[in-house]
Amino acid sequence: MTKPPVVGLTGGIGSGKTAVSDYLRDTLGVTIVDADVIARDVVAPGQPAFNAIVQRFPDALKVDGTLNRAWLRAHVLPDDDARHWLESVTHPAIREVIEKQLQTAPPPYPVLVSPLLFESGQALLCDYVAVVDAQEQQQIARTSRRDGNDEELIRTIMAKQWPRQRRLENADYIIDNTSSLESLQKATLAFHQHILAKF
Protein backbone atom coordinates (compact mmCIF):
# COMPACT_ATOMS: atom_id res chain seq x y z
CA MET A 1 0.00 0.00 0.00
CA THR A 2 1.43 3.37 -0.97
CA LYS A 3 1.64 6.07 1.66
CA PRO A 4 -0.92 8.87 1.23
CA PRO A 5 0.58 12.18 0.08
CA VAL A 6 1.19 14.82 2.75
CA VAL A 7 -0.47 18.10 1.79
CA GLY A 8 0.70 21.32 3.41
CA LEU A 9 -1.73 24.18 4.01
CA THR A 10 -0.55 27.66 4.92
CA GLY A 11 -1.35 31.34 4.52
CA GLY A 12 -0.80 34.60 6.34
CA ILE A 13 -2.53 35.42 9.61
CA GLY A 14 -6.27 35.91 9.04
CA SER A 15 -6.14 34.40 5.54
CA GLY A 16 -8.70 31.67 6.31
CA LYS A 17 -6.57 28.55 6.94
CA THR A 18 -8.90 27.41 9.74
CA ALA A 19 -12.02 27.80 7.61
CA VAL A 20 -10.38 25.65 4.91
CA SER A 21 -9.07 22.99 7.31
CA ASP A 22 -12.41 22.82 9.19
CA TYR A 23 -14.23 22.22 5.89
CA LEU A 24 -11.71 19.57 4.81
CA ARG A 25 -12.05 17.76 8.15
CA ASP A 26 -15.74 18.19 8.98
CA THR A 27 -17.28 17.96 5.49
CA LEU A 28 -14.77 15.94 3.49
CA GLY A 29 -13.30 13.64 6.18
CA VAL A 30 -9.67 14.64 5.67
CA THR A 31 -7.22 14.18 8.58
CA ILE A 32 -5.91 17.53 9.81
CA VAL A 33 -2.55 17.81 11.57
CA ASP A 34 -2.61 21.31 13.05
CA ALA A 35 0.79 22.79 13.94
CA ASP A 36 -0.87 25.49 16.11
CA VAL A 37 -2.73 22.88 18.20
CA ILE A 38 0.48 20.86 18.55
CA ALA A 39 2.38 24.05 19.47
CA ARG A 40 -0.09 24.59 22.34
CA ASP A 41 0.18 20.96 23.45
CA VAL A 42 3.99 21.00 23.67
CA VAL A 43 3.89 24.03 25.99
CA ALA A 44 1.19 22.59 28.26
CA PRO A 45 2.04 22.58 32.00
CA GLY A 46 4.51 19.84 32.84
CA GLN A 47 5.96 19.54 29.33
CA PRO A 48 9.75 20.13 29.02
CA ALA A 49 9.22 23.17 26.75
CA PHE A 50 6.77 24.70 29.27
CA ASN A 51 9.31 24.36 32.10
CA ALA A 52 12.09 25.94 30.01
CA ILE A 53 9.88 28.88 28.92
CA VAL A 54 8.68 29.67 32.44
CA GLN A 55 12.24 29.53 33.74
CA ARG A 56 13.38 32.02 31.08
CA PHE A 57 10.23 34.23 31.17
CA PRO A 58 8.60 34.04 34.64
CA ASP A 59 6.10 36.77 33.59
CA ALA A 60 4.70 34.35 31.01
CA LEU A 61 3.12 32.23 33.75
CA LYS A 62 -0.58 32.90 34.40
CA VAL A 63 -2.19 32.63 37.84
CA ASP A 64 -3.89 29.37 36.77
CA GLY A 65 -0.48 27.81 36.06
CA THR A 66 -0.72 27.91 32.25
CA LEU A 67 1.28 29.95 29.74
CA ASN A 68 0.18 33.48 28.94
CA ARG A 69 0.41 33.24 25.14
CA ALA A 70 -0.74 36.85 24.69
CA TRP A 71 2.15 38.00 26.91
CA LEU A 72 4.60 35.90 24.89
CA ARG A 73 3.23 37.32 21.62
CA ALA A 74 3.56 40.89 22.86
CA HIS A 75 6.98 40.58 24.53
CA VAL A 76 8.84 37.80 22.73
CA LEU A 77 7.75 38.13 19.08
CA PRO A 78 9.17 41.66 18.61
CA ASP A 79 12.53 40.66 20.21
CA ASP A 80 14.51 38.59 17.68
CA ASP A 81 16.87 37.03 20.25
CA ALA A 82 14.03 36.00 22.56
CA ARG A 83 12.00 34.70 19.62
CA HIS A 84 14.90 32.62 18.29
CA TRP A 85 15.43 31.13 21.74
CA LEU A 86 11.71 30.29 22.04
CA GLU A 87 11.71 28.67 18.59
CA SER A 88 14.82 26.61 19.48
CA VAL A 89 12.88 25.17 22.42
CA THR A 90 9.49 24.64 20.77
CA HIS A 91 10.16 23.84 17.10
CA PRO A 92 11.95 20.47 17.56
CA ALA A 93 9.22 19.28 19.95
CA ILE A 94 6.49 20.42 17.53
CA ARG A 95 8.17 18.74 14.56
CA GLU A 96 8.47 15.42 16.39
CA VAL A 97 4.71 15.32 17.10
CA ILE A 98 3.84 16.46 13.55
CA GLU A 99 5.94 13.68 11.99
CA LYS A 100 4.32 11.06 14.23
CA GLN A 101 0.78 12.23 13.35
CA LEU A 102 1.53 12.40 9.61
CA GLN A 103 2.99 8.89 9.58
CA THR A 104 -0.12 7.38 11.17
CA ALA A 105 -2.73 9.37 9.20
CA PRO A 106 -5.27 7.33 7.21
CA PRO A 107 -6.19 7.89 3.53
CA PRO A 108 -7.15 9.81 1.48
CA TYR A 109 -4.38 12.20 2.64
CA PRO A 110 -3.37 14.18 5.74
CA VAL A 111 -3.16 17.98 5.68
CA LEU A 112 -0.46 19.72 7.71
CA VAL A 113 -1.86 23.14 8.60
CA SER A 114 0.81 25.61 9.70
CA PRO A 115 1.03 29.41 9.61
CA LEU A 116 4.84 29.09 9.35
CA LEU A 117 4.95 26.11 6.98
CA PHE A 118 7.63 27.68 4.78
CA GLU A 119 9.41 29.72 7.46
CA SER A 120 9.86 26.75 9.84
CA GLY A 121 10.97 24.28 7.17
CA GLN A 122 7.82 22.18 7.72
CA ALA A 123 7.09 22.42 3.97
CA LEU A 124 9.87 19.85 3.54
CA LEU A 125 7.57 17.29 5.18
CA CYS A 126 4.96 17.87 2.43
CA ASP A 127 4.52 16.46 -1.06
CA TYR A 128 2.31 19.36 -2.15
CA VAL A 129 1.60 22.80 -0.65
CA ALA A 130 -1.54 24.93 -0.88
CA VAL A 131 -1.66 28.58 0.17
CA VAL A 132 -4.89 30.21 1.33
CA ASP A 133 -4.73 33.74 -0.02
CA ALA A 134 -6.40 36.98 1.01
CA GLN A 135 -5.48 40.64 0.63
CA GLU A 136 -3.48 42.19 3.47
CA GLN A 137 -6.28 44.54 4.55
CA GLN A 138 -8.65 41.56 4.71
CA GLN A 139 -6.14 39.68 6.87
CA ILE A 140 -5.87 42.62 9.28
CA ALA A 141 -9.66 43.15 9.48
CA ARG A 142 -10.37 39.43 10.03
CA THR A 143 -7.66 38.99 12.66
CA SER A 144 -8.76 42.13 14.50
CA ARG A 145 -12.37 40.86 14.58
CA ARG A 146 -11.31 37.37 15.69
CA ASP A 147 -8.65 38.18 18.31
CA GLY A 148 -9.35 41.79 19.23
CA ASN A 149 -5.70 42.63 18.48
CA ASP A 150 -4.77 46.10 17.26
CA GLU A 151 -3.39 46.66 13.78
CA GLU A 152 0.16 47.31 15.02
CA LEU A 153 0.43 43.88 16.69
CA ILE A 154 -1.13 42.16 13.66
CA ARG A 155 1.40 43.89 11.37
CA THR A 156 4.23 42.76 13.71
CA ILE A 157 3.03 39.16 13.35
CA MET A 158 2.69 39.57 9.57
CA ALA A 159 6.24 40.91 9.37
CA LYS A 160 7.54 37.64 10.87
CA GLN A 161 5.76 35.67 8.12
CA TRP A 162 6.83 35.50 4.51
CA PRO A 163 5.39 38.33 2.37
CA ARG A 164 2.22 37.43 0.48
CA GLN A 165 3.96 37.39 -2.92
CA ARG A 166 6.72 35.05 -1.76
CA ARG A 167 4.15 32.61 -0.33
CA LEU A 168 2.21 32.61 -3.60
CA GLU A 169 5.37 32.01 -5.65
CA ASN A 170 6.19 28.94 -3.54
CA ALA A 171 2.68 27.45 -3.60
CA ASP A 172 1.76 24.40 -5.67
CA TYR A 173 -1.89 25.48 -5.42
CA ILE A 174 -3.65 28.71 -4.36
CA ILE A 175 -7.03 28.73 -2.59
CA ASP A 176 -8.61 32.15 -3.05
CA ASN A 177 -10.26 33.66 0.02
CA THR A 178 -10.89 37.21 -1.11
CA SER A 179 -14.66 36.72 -1.28
CA SER A 180 -17.37 34.97 0.82
CA LEU A 181 -17.23 31.87 3.03
CA GLU A 182 -19.43 30.06 0.50
CA SER A 183 -17.00 30.71 -2.34
CA LEU A 184 -14.11 29.65 -0.07
CA GLN A 185 -15.87 26.32 0.58
CA LYS A 186 -16.40 25.82 -3.17
CA ALA A 187 -12.70 26.56 -3.74
CA THR A 188 -11.77 24.10 -0.97
CA LEU A 189 -13.91 21.35 -2.53
CA ALA A 190 -12.23 22.00 -5.91
CA PHE A 191 -8.84 21.76 -4.20
CA HIS A 192 -9.81 18.43 -2.56
CA GLN A 193 -10.93 17.02 -5.92
CA HIS A 194 -7.68 18.23 -7.49
CA ILE A 195 -5.61 16.37 -4.85
CA LEU A 196 -7.61 13.15 -5.30
CA ALA A 197 -7.14 13.35 -9.07
CA LYS A 198 -3.45 14.24 -8.84
CA PHE A 199 -2.43 11.55 -6.34
Report the side by side order of strands in the sheet with 128-133: 31-34, 110-113, 7-10, 128-133, 173-176
> Is 15 annotated as belonging to a binding site?
yes
68: number of CA atoms within 13 Å, CB side?
15
Give CA–CA dist 178/124, Å, rounded: 27
> Is 62 annotated as belonging to a binding site?
no
Beta-carbon count within 10 A of 50 CB = 20
Nearest one of 106, 107, 101 to 125, comparing CA atoms: 101
Tell me which DSSP letter residue 50 carries: H
Strand ranges (DSSP E) for the chain?
Answer: 7-10, 31-34, 110-113, 128-133, 173-176
> Is 17 annotated as belonging to a binding site?
yes
> Is 14 annotated as belonging to a binding site?
yes
Q: Which residues are annotated as a binding site?
A: 14-19
Q: Which residues are annotated as a binding site for ATP?
A: 14-19
